[in-house]
Structure 1
Amino acid sequence: MPGRWPVCKNIPSKKSIEKGTRRPMQQKLPERFSMTTLEKNLAALMPVNEDLVRRICLPVDGTHIHFLQGGEARYQRHRTLLPFVVGKEDFLSTLGDANIGENIFLFGIGLGEQLDYLLEHFKEAGITVWDRDPWLVRLVLMQRDYSQYIGSGQLQLHMCADLFGMLDTVKSASVICHPFLRSVYENEYKLVEDGVGKKRAIICSGDLFVDDVGKILRGFGYSLYTLEIKKLALEEIETAIQRFDPNMIIAINYTNGLAEMCHSQGVDLICWEVDPAADRLKPCNAPTDRAFIFTYRKANVRAFIQAGFKNVEYLPLASNIEKRFPAELSLKEKESYGSSLSFVGSSMIEQAKSFRDIFLSHYKAYCGGSPNAVEEGNRLLEEILSVQRQDLSTYRIPDLLSQYFSDFISYLFNLPGAHNPFMLVGEIAAAEKRINYIASLGRLGLNVWGDQGWRITEQYGVKYMGSAGHTYEINKIYSASLVNVDINRLYQADIVTMRVFDIMACGGFVLAEYSRDLDELFEIGKEVEAYHTLDELLSKASYYLDHRGEALEIAERGREAVRNNHTIEKRVKYMLSVAMNNQ
């Protein structure tokens, strides 16, 4: 979470605004974005809403907005870059029944295209704009001079937690939504539609899993507000909590400092860890009686307890059966998605390259910036990986790192903010394992969906099918494949992945890597099939390709097991009951 920012008593200087704007990895903005224009708009806003001016100048992460070489914008949602430009036809279709003389509430400022149109064509209307993202508000104020509209009162700007105080006045206005941000701000739009109920929860932003949990919570009657805890300044986060006054904060995956913040605000924390974390878990420096941690991995329970958390338990992953279900395919779709043997997922190649660079940059710093440090570190790293490659079914990275880099590992663990070295190198080894297993399956006619990194396996007979959408396209792949393969990360072969639950929910047969957890959750050989080694994976894949009827029977029983016992709705209901019973 970005830190605090000093209160602006006067109009912020250009230098102070730029300081609040800079973030790691933030790209240079196109020329149309001007600090001078921003200063002029803030000067007009200062006598109207000094608090908003100060908050606009707080540190904010803008790395989710990307600009191509020609200046065209892309919005990164989850892990996908999406076009972020509103054409005239798009925003005309959002006008609805808005009248020239009435008040208008613009839900989502975007890059200002709709706002500019409204100011030009609805000159007698009062226009109130709200956006959840301070970075977008700042970009719009850098792009065009709105000072006369702000000064006259025709244009009123709001952001983040301001929404809670605007809900009554919005009822008398024509609501116009940004065509893209409407879905991104789903929780907030429900507040505009329905108001704030008695049951309130803040949900921390994140990947696709967050959307599933949010929809379930809304179904349980909760009013939700989404908090960008990794992008906003701490002061903006605290303001949202104080104004919304939630019963609890829900997080998918833990962020260091989150428990301390929840304790300082007197609100319960429910966190479901569903992914491996690259950074190290730090000791919690606050009481954790009201923090409830659920982790997908039994081995992580001890780590959280050692970090000072009292309420920690294992909770396996699950599937959203409203989104994952058997797909009915047309003949054409069967040709596109049908496969005897398939795998859907990341090649992990780019992440492995990134983690290798991070590891070596830390090593270079440890060596005092020596020009030979990267070469030496890479040589030692290759020696470690070559030993690990000899047996990809047994995770040896921690012992090998301690043997080859003992002093460096101690240095990293005492370095504030440093990455977890075991995780960095573990991801590299995990990528190599995944590539090796997929390449070996090429001889059986494997189709693979995912990123371009998979092309490296085409030389081994693997057919690369391109990327798979996260919505219903995956259902078609899982449903149309006779054998769906699951490959765990090398360093967490003890878990049951989300992929296993989703394949089974779609009625697909899954050949998963064996773990004790898999054996506890499902009946192996009747609801799911499992392998221990690469040789066993190849052997069982060949067997079930020749015994289609057995695979289909296992798949049907597996689907019923997931629907009855392993849905995200059941997991969320359980977490809520644990928290409520401990109040």
Structure 2
Amino acid sequence: MLKIFIFEPSDNVGAYWVRDSCEALKELGNKIEVVKLVSTGKPLIEILKRLKEFAPNLIFTINHIGLIPEFVEVVNRMSLPVASWFVDDPFRYLSPEIVIQNCIIFSCDKFYIQRLKDFGFKRVYYLPGATNPKVFKPIRLTQEEKERFCCNISFVGNSIYHAYATYKKYHEWIADPKTQRTIEEVLRLQKENHLLDISDILEETQRTHNCLLYYPGLEQIESVKICLEFAAMSLYRKKIIESVANLGLKLFGDDGWCTLLDGKIDLQREIDYRTELPKLYNASKINLNITKTQLKTTINQRVFDVAACKSFLLTDYRRDLGSLFEVGNEVVYYKDERDLRHKIQHYLGHEDERTEIAQRAQCRVLKEHTFLHRMKEAFNIIRDFL
């Protein structure tokens, strides 16, 4: 048995990853101490008091959350090992100033493995996403739930319109036409080639346009990269949603969709990840997936969650899809908007095919892709490290 000290972030998605991981770790016989990080912050002295009282063998975190410099300084003095599982772009969370002496890193995306090693981490391993089959499972819906959720196609997700709005302000602020054309090209290339890294696109575009964008410091250039990447993601999502809007789509998300789509779609309110999303997955003939740009080679959690519900999914392509599922037999992907429309029309007319694919996907997930599987994989590695 290990004693594991875990930070739970204040944002919902990160918190769910932590809770599902904790549930699996407890099931494996470990003792867990969870520190919830509220948005207003928790006093460091209180966190350190709980750390010393619990006396853990290991600190475990999602996306390095909670590892502020003052806490890391104490951890290094205590020679405590830290394991961090990045389920997003790691470089949105890492800081060169935070150096952990005993650290093991897991990334859900192989794209970042070598980059994390280049950053200075010696122990970096691939650990893809997973699902909690106690939450995501086949559900018998009430009549009221059927009326609310049943549809041909559903998509649940953020419009990311705030990033596009920020881009437009940045574009206007620049004023210089040559520089404006340069960032327009960066945005276009990222939207059309979302598997490419924004840093590579930015570097190449500045060279080909002979236009060096000026940044006062590292923090500013990283902010610009994030803005451009997410603005491109917003436009990519807009393009996909518009291409299938007339095929019986129900869209659930933030108010930014109304602005992004010029009010041309009947937007459903945002729904709760734990209590409502599994019902929607069960009620939808086709669940649509549009992966965020920062996941370059791996698949997101929706692919696992929908499969656990024994429901049908159409996802955009990622290279590691075929190493986690049998493509065509357990999961179906689309190449572009035309291919997506064609496949939606095909599978809406072939319920038997949808059902068979969904059944096989569920078998795969329950056999290989739950949080219990992931924690077993991770801690088989961690035990050799302790």
Classify the TM-score, shorter chain.
0.7 to 0.9
Residue 273 of structure 1: how far off its partner (Å): 0.7
2:364, 2:191 → 1: CA distance? 36
Q: Is the 8 A contact 1:384 1:400 kept in 2?
A: no
1:509, 1:383 → 2: CA distance? 37
Q: Which residue in 1 is equivalent to 2:222?
A: 419
Q: Which residue in 1 is equivalent to 2:361?
A: 558
1:446, 1:424 → 2: CA distance? 28
User: Is the deviation greater in 245-254 or in 384-393?
Assistant: 384-393
- Quickly say closer, same or farther: Cα 1:345–1:457, change in 2 above 3 A: same
Amino acid aligned to 2:189: Q
Say whether residues 1:296 and 2:108 are aligned partners: yes
Residues 188-246 of structure 1 show CA distances to partners (whole Å, capped at 9, x for unaligned) of xxxxxxxxxx7422111213222222233333341313153983455554343223211
Q: Which residue in 2 is equivalent to 1:224?
A: 33
Say whether residues 1:215 and 2:16 are aligned partners: no
Residue 276 of structure 1: how far off its partner (Å): 2.7
**Which residue of 237, 247, 253 corresponds with 1:434?**
237
Amino acid aligned to 2:126: Y
1:451, 1:287 → 2: CA distance? 37
Residue 519 of structure 1: how far off its partner (Å): 0.8
1:276, 1:396 → 2: CA distance? 11
Residue 386 of structure 1: how far off its partner (Å): 5.7
Q: Which residue in 2 is equivalent to 1:387?
A: 188
Residue 318 of structure 1: how far off its partner (Å): 0.5
Residue 574 of structure 1: how far off its partner (Å): 1.9
Say whether residues 1:334 and 2:138 are aligned partners: no
- Higher RCO (C-alpha 8 Å, min separation 6): 2
Amino acid aligned to 1:479: N
Residue 388 of structure 1: how far off its partner (Å): 2.7
Residue 286 of structure 1: how far off its partner (Å): 4.6
2:113, 2:197 → 1: CA distance? 21
- Number of residue pairs aligned between Structure 1 and Structure 2: 370
Amino acid aligned to 1:251: T
Q: Which residue in 2 is equivalent to 1:318?
A: 130
Say whether residues 1:504 and 2:307 are aligned partners: yes
Bigger-Rg structure (1/2): 1
Q: Is the 8 A contact 1:204 1:251 kept in 2?
A: yes
Say whether residues 1:446 and 2:249 are aligned partners: yes
- Quickly say closer, same or farther: Cα 1:457–1:504, change in 2 above 3 A: farther
Say whether residues 1:522 and 2:303 are aligned partners: no
Q: Which residue in 1 is equivalent to 2:95?
A: 282
Q: Which residue in 2 is equivalent to 1:475?
A: 278
Q: Which residue in 2 is equivalent to 1:36?
A: none
Q: Is the 8 A contact 2:155 2:289 kept in 1?
A: yes
**Which residue of 112, 117, 121 corresponds with 1:305?**
117
Say whether residues 1:582 and 2:385 are aligned partners: yes
User: Is the deviation greater in 291-300 or in 346-355?
Assistant: 346-355
Q: Is the 8 A contact 1:279 1:420 kept in 2?
A: no
Secondary structure (helix, strand or coil) at the match of 2:276 reads helix
Residue 354 of structure 1: how far off its partner (Å): 5.2
Secondary structure (helix, strand or coil) at the match of 1:408 reads coil
Residue 509 of structure 1: how far off its partner (Å): 0.5
Q: Which residue in 1 is equivalent to 2:80?
A: 267
Secondary structure (helix, strand or coil) at the match of 2:234 reads helix
**Which residue of 137, 155, 162 corresponds with 1:343?**
155
Q: Is the 8 A contact 1:339 1:481 kept in 2?
A: yes
Q: Which residue in 1 is equivalent to 2:373?
A: 570
Residue 532 of structure 1: how far off its partner (Å): 2.0
Residue 577 of structure 1: how far off its partner (Å): 2.1
- Percent identity, aligned pairs only, is 26
Secondary structure (helix, strand or coil) at the match of 2:136 reads coil
- Quickly say closer, same or farther: Cα 1:458–1:348, change in 2 above 3 A: closer
The 5 A counterparts of 1:119-268 are 199-206=2-9, 207=14, 208-219=16-27, 220-226=29-35, 228=37, 231-232=41-42, 234-255=44-65, 257=69, 262-268=75-81
**Structure 1: which 5+ runs fail to align?**
1-197, 364-371
Q: Is the 8 A contact 1:412 1:421 kept in 2?
A: no
**Structure 2: which 5+ runs fail to align?**
none
Amino acid aligned to 1:225: V
Secondary structure (helix, strand or coil) at the match of 2:353 reads helix
Residues 396-441 of structure 1 show CA distances to partners (whole Å, capped at 9, x for unaligned) of 74344223463535x533x5x8735433311111111011111111
- Quickly say closer, same or farther: Cα 1:214–1:539, change in 2 above 3 A: same
Amino acid aligned to 1:213: S
- Quickly say closer, same or farther: Cα 1:450–1:407, change in 2 above 3 A: closer
Q: Is the 8 A contact 2:190 2:201 kept in 1?
A: no
Q: Is the 8 A contact 1:527 1:557 kept in 2?
A: yes
- Quickly say closer, same or farther: Cα 1:237–1:351, change in 2 above 3 A: farther
- Quickly say closer, same or farther: Cα 1:343–1:390, change in 2 above 3 A: closer
- Quickly say closer, same or farther: Cα 1:334–1:300, change in 2 above 3 A: same
Q: Is the 8 A contact 1:202 1:224 kept in 2?
A: yes
The alignment's TM-score, normalised by the length of structure 2, stands at 0.85
- Quickly say closer, same or farther: Cα 1:235–1:472, change in 2 above 3 A: closer
Say whether residues 1:398 and 2:199 are aligned partners: yes
Q: Is the 8 A contact 1:507 1:556 kept in 2?
A: yes
Secondary structure (helix, strand or coil) at the match of 1:516 reads coil
Amino acid aligned to 1:559: Q
- Quickly say closer, same or farther: Cα 1:393–1:307, change in 2 above 3 A: closer
2:182, 2:36 → 1: CA distance? 39
1:396, 1:380 → 2: CA distance? 19
